[in-house]
Amino acid sequence: MTASVPPQTAVSPEDPGPPEDRRRVVRRRALTLLIIVLLIGVPAGYLVISAAQSRASGKDKEQKYSARGLTIDWPAKVQRRVYDVPIPHPSNQVAYYETNNWRTSRLYVQFQTTHDGLDTFLRDIGVSRDQLKKDDITISDRDRNIVGWKFSGPGARLGGYWGLSNKEKNPKPSQDIVVNTQNPRYPMVYVVSRTVP
């Protein structure tokens, strides 16, 4: 005896089948909406947060590099090495300012140290105290105006300023140095170091 197969009816492409349950339709639409939010909303939110952080970082850098005048802090070790300004220990009242352009980069540094510290500093850049000349203000008016250094007042009247220029061939930096010896124990040193990029 052969099993009879029930006759099959052809399903028409226009026949959608039984109507979908309302809860199932709502769940499917909610899932579709969640996927769209995740695919579009998360990257968009990330871009907004990233742009805000980048903008804040740019403002910080702009403020730092557009500041006029000295920053009361030690220059970074790499700056001291590039500009050949080996600030001795102990030193206090350390401040610096850096300018860069396509022709010349400059590092302005001031610090107060001991007489041994001054000798160490001068020796480390390749000069000696004997090369300092009394009343020789080697730092130009232009450079003094940039950072607000004024070599006048009691130190100038007492002959307490000594200067020298340490000229080097490129790419080595050259320094203009002024030392205020008005304080007999702790000389104040002012340096402008120039390098050509």
Sheet order of strands, 161-166 included: 91-100, 105-113, 188-195, 174-180, 161-166, 133-134
pLDDT tens string for the chain (197 positions)? Answer: 566 666 665 555 566 666 778 888 888 888 888 888 888 888 888 888 887 777 766 556 545 544 557 899 999 999 999 999 999 999 999 999 999 888 889 999 999 999 999 999 999 999 989 999 998 899 999 999 999 998 876 555 555 899 999 898 888 899 999 999 888 899 999 999 999 87
Q: Render the burial of 141-155: b for 16+ CB within 10 Å, e for the rest.
A: eebbebbebebeeeb
> What is residue 37's predicted lDDT score, i.e. its pLDDT?
84
Q: What is the pTM of this model?
A: 0.64
Measured CA to CA in angstroms, residue 179 lies from 52, 91, 114, 152 at distances of: 46, 14, 12, 13
> What is residue 6's predicted lDDT score, i.e. its pLDDT?
62
